[in-house]
Amino acid sequence: MPDIRTLGEFIVEKQNDFPHASGELSSLLGSIKLAAKIVNREINKAGLVDITGAVGSENVQGEEQQKLDLYANDKFKAALEARDQVCGVASEEEDEAVAFNKELNRNAKYVVLMDPLDGSSNIDVNVSVGTIFSIYRRISPKGTPPTQEDFLQPGHRQVAAGYVIYGSSTMLVYTTGNGIHGFTYDPSLGVFCLSHENMRIPENGSIYSINEGNYIRFPEGVKKYIKYCQEDAPEDNRPYTSRYIGSLVSDFHRNLLKGGIYLYPSTAAHPNGKLRLLYECNPMAFLIEQAGGLASDGENRIMDIKPTELHQRVPFFVGSTKMVRQVEDFLKEYPEQQ
């Protein structure tokens, strides 16, 4: 029988890979694991209880909130606050960052930024969704409430990041800067078991993931890249395949395993793109770089961008190295007219 390592065992085994490790990070990841199990349970019975659909309110970005968005947000906040390793969280579903006020929380080292339920509108049609999280060491003094600066750090300062994908099986994938590792949930045991150690994305791929319904609004360089994928790519790498689920976690996960690129460029309606730098792009950029890929806004490395606001948006191109470089080349060759 093969040796089975659980997520908890693996985290403890690897915690010395993380500078200044003293157990807090392991416990923090344990909080995320617990919340993911609770959310997974609710998602799996979403058609049986009244937890699908919209709640009739919008988040700060003007997007309609789903019942499970708020449920997941509450469960992750509660789990992170309970173990005293986190002094505050920022969430896609919250207008402002949330400070935890217990004394032990104020002495905590870390802040967490998260998209509690990415792609939640897909729940109603039984399509995979996910959770994205990002962990930073706080800048403000311990013993005080967290400040805005704690959350507005560039992505290269992340100490850990990851996602949970709730699909045909539930997986938790994370990095602390020493590779990227995936764990599949075994519901019969109630544990996440190591299934994908040191995941690597192929240097090139043949999958491109983009909402082509917005084609007419794309920058010219992105239009040219799509044409390249459809008609002009080298014959030994054709045909390229278009695959778009509409859940960043799901599209990213497939491309990570098979090789490909995910694109969410600027459009006329969203000149800065639509994805959030802090909750979606930075954690996915950290993960993809640890897997040997790239993440770019079309010109710059995502993790070098200095955030200026909590809900900042950026264009996002992430995936296999050669494919991301090609998009950057097309955008440079066909600059937008000002």
Partnered with residue 66 across adjacent β-strands are 54
Answer positive or negative: Cα dihedral of 134, 255, 248, 301.
positive
Partnered with residue 263 across adjacent β-strands are 317
Query: Binding residue per annotation — 34?
Result: no
- For 246, the token pair is 């509409």
- For 121, the token pair is 């509108």
Query: Binding residue per annotation — 240?
Result: no
Query: Binding residue per annotation — 92?
Result: yes
Query: Binding residue per annotation — 136?
Result: no
The rounded distance, in Å, linking the Cα atoms of 318 and 97 is: 27
Query: Binding residue per annotation — 119?
Result: yes
Return all residues near 287 (Cβ < 8 A) that are at least 6 apart: 161, 162, 163, 173, 174, 175, 180, 252, 256
Query: Binding residue per annotation — 115?
Result: yes
The rounded distance, in Å, linking the Cα atoms of 23 and 46 is: 35
Render 114-141 in DSSP notation, one character per residue. EEEEETGGGGGGT--EEEEEEEEE--SP
Query: Binding residue per annotation — 44?
Result: no
Query: Binding residue per annotation — 3?
Result: no
Query: Binding residue per annotation — 117?
Result: yes
CA Rg value for the chain: 19
Is residue 109 classed as helix, strand or coil in its secondary structure? coil
Query: Binding residue per annotation — 120?
Result: yes
C-alpha distance from residue 335 to each of 141, 209, 220, 224, 338 (Å):
44, 22, 7, 11, 9
Query: Binding residue per annotation — 121?
Result: yes
The rounded distance, in Å, linking the Cα atoms of 24 and 151 is: 19
Render 181-249 in DSSP notation, one character per residue. EEEEEETTTTEEEEEESS----SS-SEEE--GGGGGGS-HHHHHHHHIIIIIS-GGG-S-EE---S-HH
Query: Binding residue per annotation — 263?
Result: yes
Query: Binding residue per annotation — 262?
Result: yes
Query: Binding residue per annotation — 14?
Result: no
- As annotated, the binding site for substrate includes 118-121, 211, 244, 262-264, 274
- As annotated, the binding site includes 92, 115, 117-121, 211, 244, 262-264, 274, 280
- As annotated, the binding site for Mg(2+) includes 92, 115, 117-118, 280
